Structure 1
Amino acid sequence: MTLNKSQIHFPQRIICLTEETTEALYMMGEEDRIVGISSYTVRPARAKQEKPKVSAFIDARIEKIIALEPDLVLAFSDMQADIVKQLIQQGIQVHCFNHRTVKGILQMIQTLAALIGEPAKGQKLIHTLQQNIARIEAKVAQLSLRPKVYFEEWDEPIITGIGWVSEIVTLAGGNDCYPSHAQQSLAKHRIIEHPEDVIAHQPDIIMAAWCGKKFQPQQLIARPGWQSIPAVMNAEVHEIESSIILQPGPAALTDGINAVYAVIEQWHQRQLAATDIKGNRHA
């Protein structure tokens, strides 16, 4: 039996347990479908005022979710596996995304748009995000230097950036110090066992977004031996707001990649200026 679109029930009451699907639905103009969100949601800012908060990240108010009568709950990653299990046991329809790459972010949007029966809106949003990536790539093509970048996602233990973060560093003009770690989907496999290993990489720039808490640059700089790292010696230690880089959704491909590029471009300008000063001194 073949069903046409008018015969298919697309979800009208959606709960988003993470921020990226909330933001994507708002950007597609489909926010009226959302009946519950994560308490960590900050994008868009108005979502927290408009929508009930039903979850943190690894915890959720199952009773409240059930009371909201969702016809679809959207989750993300193995970290929410227990929540997903409980909801499925209650007979609730759940889709759990598990993407870790830039391509995966775009595919998530495509899948989400299909789930709500609005594939054209998904394609429009994807095109907008791809345009921004292309804009950044065009700017990067004008840079003559590529810095070594160490990205820190957590401090105790030290965890380096996940897949899409590493890709964004590369797209924005840097060379990630830990590309092999970035291929690991689980945080426990991205732990830097020996902090002195970062020293050996001699990154030109350090970027950090400590997931869920404020980055403390002085704590990082005070680590034994880290004062010999070029990024530390040259005051190239920068915070990237976690909400724009650590959620695998539109934010990472808009404000996130823009912020990473801005740090790299400014470093590039300082390197050229320093080279010019040295050249003039020897002239």
Structure 2
Amino acid sequence: MSHGPRRIVCLTEEPTEVLYALGEQDRIVGISGFTVRPPRARREKPKVSAFTSAKIDEILALEPDFVVGFSDIQADIAAELVRRGVEVWISNHRSVDGILDYVRRLGALVGASAAADDYADGLQRGLDAIVAEAATLPRRPRVYFEEWDEPRISGIRWVAELVRIAGGDDIFPELAAQSLAKHRILANDDQIIARAPDIVFGSWCGKKFRPEKVAARPGWADVPAVRGGHLHEIKSPIILQPGPAALTDGVREMAGHIRRWALEG
């Protein structure tokens, strides 16, 4: 007998990706318009939300018995749905351990605890393998991860942790601890230039990263990443969502760039 909610609306991508991975996709009746993983979800499920907005009436028409969202940014959407009698879970995980725990909790909520535990264990093994490989590299780069360009916003906590797992050292660890993007805004480029990143990863939250624009910034000519041509885009769907994508494709892509840099020297 199946347990847990039967009609789930996912307001962000990560619950969709997790539920598909657990074989529980038939429970999903609506998804975020930003969902790209897995690709079949876009073909199979109606899109009823963005990130900061949602089509409340369309969600209600789907008769959900559970809605899953993420963070304070979706608080207003959640409040409106709660007022309309819908059960809502807003997760607020911001770390690698938090993502793994999220997988386990979401699995438990849909009665798939064993499958979720196995899946989370597999994700952890994948991260452990990347750590082990990174430990064999001859050197570690200083890494600047840019989440937005104007204003400059440095990477969130799980991104900084994945940079370390991949073999690099995030140059703004004190900012990574700040959960809100507005608290990770850099007043000017002086701090970045002074910390001399060897690699710059850009993930401009849905906007194409332009390495040539970064290289042309005033004062950046002598930044090691610019001199060495190590300016790389990490596409936002695989790194800026606190779900399985970041722990698989996202961290592996960063690890590949870091490995190439480390072996250049």
TM-score w.r.t. the length of structure 1 is 0.92
Provide the C-alpha distance between the structure 1 equivalents of 2:201 and 2:233, rounded to a whole number of angstroms: 6
Q: 1:166 aligns with which of 156, 160, 169?
A: 160
Are 1:177 and 2:171 an aligned pair? Answer: yes
RMSD: 1.0
1:260 Cα offset (Å): 0.7
| 3-state SS, counterpart of residue 227 of structure 1 | coil
Deviation track 1:94-120 (CA, whole Å, cap 9, x = no partner) reads 000001000000111111011101110
Q: Determine which of 184, 200, 203 is the counterpart of 2:194.
A: 200
1:270 aligned onto 2:264: yes
**Structure 2 match to 1:15:** 9
Q: Tell whether 2:37 aligns with 1:40.
A: no
**What is the identity, as a one-letter code, of the residue corresponding to 2:162?**
I
**What do the CA deviations read for 1:109-136 (whole angstroms, capped 9, x no partner)?**
1110111011101101101101110110
Please report how far the alpha carbon of residue 254 of structure 1 lies from its aligned counterpart in structure 2 after TM superposition. 0.5
Matched, 1:249 2:261: no
SS, match of residue 226 in structure 1? coil
* Number of equivalent positions: 265
5+ long unaligned stretches in structure 2:
none
Which is higher, the Rg of structure 1 or of structure 2?
A: 1
Alignment-mate amino acid for residue 226 of structure 2 = V
Match of 2:61 in 1: 67
TM-score by length of 2: 0.98
TM superposition outliers: structure 1 runs of 4+ over 6 Å: none
Residue 240 (structure 1) aligns with: 234
Pair 1:102-2:96 in alignment: yes
What whole-Å deviation, never above 9, does each CA across 1:65-113 have from its counterpart, x for those lacking one?
0000000000000111110111001010000000100000011111101
Stretch of structure 1 that moved more, 211-220 or 145-154: 211-220
Using the TM superposition, give the Cα deviation of residue 207 of structure 1 relative to its aligned residue in structure 2, in angstroms: 0.5
Q: Distance in 2 between the 1:31 and 1:213 partners? A: 29
Structure 1, unmatched stretches of 5+, are 1-5, 272-283
Q: CA deviation at 1:141?
A: 1.4
Q: How far 1:9 sits from its partner (Å)?
A: 5.3
Distance apart, 1:138 and its partner CA? 1.2
Percent of aligned pairs sharing the same letter: 54
